[in-house]
Amino acid sequence: YVATNEHVIRGAQQIQVHLPDGDTYEAEVVGRDVVTDIAILKIDANGLPFATLADGDRIRVGDWVMTMGNALTLKGGPTVTLGIVSGVERTIETEQGQQFFDLIQTDATINTGNSGGPLVDLNGNVVGINQAVLAEARFGFAINSSVAAPVIASLIEHGRVSRPNIGVNGDDVTPAIARSFDLPVAEGVIV
């Protein structure tokens, strides 16, 4: 099984996994979760090395981390960058309005092509899955492994993630929302 970002495989007609030894495998999509931006692929291979998921809740601001990926699809193979965790429990919103929560923020360089690759601690354990970059601030964001682990397990076992819904929705109160509803506050949650 191979974990990656859902946005990496979105709309793909054919998916291949290329291994460092030169082998290439056709991949089957086992499951995808747009809420967390995680997808699981399966290839027909045995005995491959694998990475261990660390407890992402133990990651702290100032911890050293490395990103791995195929940045900018440059010739010469995968890239590795080194940096620190510069924030935890971050929330970002995409241009399409989708929000991602409990992200790890790092100054280790994440570029196009790093998406879906691991964010690892100095022991080589995966603490996150590289997801997004805020170019103007030179920060990258990774899905915390503690968020990813149950999603990965559910996708492998069921091909989907089931989430309860209690029928109540909320959104952040922004200054624009506060003005439009003539609210006496400019921050909080509107239900």
For the sheet with 38-42, list strands across it: 2-5, 38-42, 28-33
In angstroms, rounded to a whole number, what is the distance separating the alpha carbons of residues 115 and 110?
8
162 a catalytic residue:
no
Residue of 33, 86, 115, 145 marked active site: 115
How many residues in the chain?
191
Q: How far is CA 22 from CA 18, 19, 25, 165, in A?
A: 7, 6, 10, 45
Residue 32 exposure: Cα atoms within 13 Å on the Cβ side: 14
Residue of 7, 86, 121, 154 marked active site: 7
115 a catalytic residue:
yes
107 a catalytic residue:
no
Residue of 37, 86, 121, 145 marked active site: 37
Across 110-133, b (16+ Cβ under 10 Å) vs e yields bbebbbbbbbbbeeeebbbbbbbb
Residue 15, φ and ψ in degrees, nearest 5:
-125, 130
What is the set of active-site residues?
Answer: 7, 37, 115
